[in-house]
Copies of this chain bind each other. A is one copy, B any other.
Amino acid sequence: MTPDPRHDESDFLANYDPRDYDPVAVTVDVVALTIRDGALHVLLVRRGSAPYAGMWALPGGFVQAGGPLQGAEAEDLPDAAVRELAEETGLSAKGGALGRVHLEQLGTYGSPGRDPRMRVISVAHLAFAPELPDPEAGGDAADAAWVPVEALGLTESGGQRPGTTRRLAFDHARILSDGLERARAKLEYTPLAAAFCGGEFTIPELRAVYEAVWGEELHAGNFHRKVLSVPGFVESTGATSDRGGRRGGPRPRLYRAGDARLLHPALLRPSREEEIR
């Protein structure tokens, strides 16, 4: 079943009055991840107003419901996520810098009390992007920046370690933690890591993505063998990078993303043993 607050008669609309119901707000929040200087970064905005003024938060905002009161078009959830990303950070949407981002739903957070003002249900999304320009604050944001995930002192339980400078508002530490775990898992069985690279990339660049997201070094030889052996993961362009490795070494070959949607067999994280129980 779906909405049916008072055992709806044959004509629900005629009897419906929004004022009969306690208001619930629906927002979208976005965990946008990218790799900069070999480290995983997340897009954050600094709140300009209460509550949590001055603290950092995930970009996000209200979903346009599409009724007559506010005059806005009804929008789908992913569209709302892209719009908020664009509004609050100045990153232009389709065609522009946001053209190549992968966007997926992460989960919905709706505990009573998660927002001190009213009942808010947040639909969190996860975005993966290749290196993007610095954002510009817009909308309600006093500031916007790519922040190294490492610097946020996230704990396993979804909080932040004491002493961390940038505190996250609301339950955004929990949402971000969930997003990171999703990202780490998705690299295992989807070719999504290529979404962090540009159109053409080298195997070592791809490996750097895995190392940044998983936070551990990988065996270069085995990674190379694995990537080439999984059907459809990458395809050769035939070309060679014009520069060797940063500190020497031969010029690596160039590849682009293949047509596989799932990696089989998957690339498993080395450090899963600990998480099993």
Contacts and interface: CB of A to CB of B under 8 A. Distances in A.
A271 B68 CA distance: 49
A27 interface: yes
A61 B119 contact: no
A8 to B, nearest CB: 5
Contacts of A226: none
Interface in A263-277: 264, 272-273, 275-277
Contact of A2 (B12, B27, B105, B259): B27
Given A110-B123, A264-B276, A60 B22 contact: no
Nearest to A20: B69
B261 A4 contact: no
Mostly helix, strand, loop or mixed at chain A's interface?
loop
B1 A59 contact: yes
Contact of A112 (B4, B75, B112): B75
B1 A112 contact: no
A269 to B, nearest CB: 10
A120 B18 CA distance: 13
A67 to B, nearest CB: 3
A232 B277 contact: yes
Contacts of A250: none
- Identical copies in the complex: 2
A265 to B, nearest CB: 8
Interface string A211-232: 0000000000000000000011
A119 B18 contact: no
Given A24-B24, A65-B24, A276-B262, A49 B4 contact: yes
A120 B75 contact: no
A64 to B, nearest CB: 8
A117 to B, nearest CB: 5
Contact of A110 (B19, B58, B76): B76
A43 to B, nearest CB: 12
10 contacts: A1-B140, A2-B115, A2-B120, A3-B27, A21-B65, A23-B65, A26-B121, A108-B123, A121-B121, A232-B277
